[in-house]
Amino acid sequence: MNRIEGKTAIITGATAGIGYKTAELMAVEGVKLILTGRREKRLQEIKNQLTEQYNTTVDVASFDVQDAEACRSFVESLSTPVDILINNAGLAKGTDPVYGASFDDWNTMIDTNMKGLLYLSRLISPQMRERNTGHIINIGSTAGHESYAGGVVYSATKHAVKAITEATKKDLHGTDVRVSMISPGLVETEFSEVRFRGDKEKAAKVYEGMKPLTPEDIAEIIVFVANRPAHVNIMDTIIYPVSQSSATMVHRDE
C-alpha cells in the first residue's frame, strides 16, 4: 500500500547519491518533493528530469545547511506543510588521525552532519508537532554505531546523529510524529571522492574487490521506512553489503 502518495517531503543533499535516488523513488510513489543542495544547476536538472518522468511536483532550493540563517529563510519560504523531512546532507573529510587532522575538516563535518541536521529539525518539527503528524528521517551511518581509526570526528558526528534521533523521538513523545534513522555501511557514491578531496583513484580503492551497496539500495529502505503504517516507527536500520561485517571488517576478493 502506498501511504506516502501526495505527501510533501524535503530531501537535503539531493544532488547526488542517496539523496538523488531517494528523490527519484519518492517521485515514483507520487510524493511532492522539495529538494535542497548546494549545486543549483544540478538541482534544476533533477527537477526537470523528475517532473518530466513522473507525475509529481518538484521544488528546489539551493543553499548550504551549514548556514543557520539560510535554513531559516528556506523554511520560512515554504508555502505547504512538510510531511517528511529527510536529513540526508552529510560528508566526511579526510582520514587523518586525531593528532594530525585539520580543524577546517572537523568544522565542515560538524557543521554539516550535526548542525545542519539540527537546524532543519528545529525549524520543521514545530509544525509537525502542531499538526500532530509528520516523519523525520535522519541518514546516519554504521560509523554512528562503531568508531574507527581515521574517523574520529566523522564517527563522532554520526554517533551524534544517533543521539539526536533518539532524543528527538523522546522530545516528541506523546505525539504522532515519527522519527527514524538509516545507518548504511559502504555505499558507492561521491562520498569517498569528497573524503579524499577529489582523488578518484583513491576513492575507487575503497570499493575495490567487493560489491558495495548502491544509493538505490538505501533509497529503497528510506521509502520503506516512510511508507509504514502511521502507528509504526522504525527507529534505526543498519545496512551492510554482504562483504562487510563491521566498520573495519570488509572481505575483498583477491
Transcribe 143-193 into DSSP letters: GGTS--TT-HHHHHHHHHHHHHHHHHHHHTTTSS-EEEEEEE-SB-SSHHH
What residues does 182 pair with on adjacent strands?
A: 139, 237
Query: 10 in helix, strand or coil?
Result: strand
Instruction: Indicate if 154 belongs to the active site.
Output: yes
The residue from 54, 119, 154, 240 that is catalytic is 154
Give me 25's grid cell. Answer: 523513488
Q: Which of 77, 89, 84 lies closest to 32, judged by CA?
A: 84
Q: Are 123 and 49 in contact (CB under 8 A)?
A: no
Q: Are 82 and 124 in contact (CB under 8 A)?
A: yes
Gyration radius of the chain over CA positions = 18
Query: 245 in helix, strand or coil?
Result: coil
What residues does 187 pair with on adjacent strands?
A: 213
Give me 148's grid cell. Answer: 574507527
Q: Which residues have a catalytic role annotated? A: 154
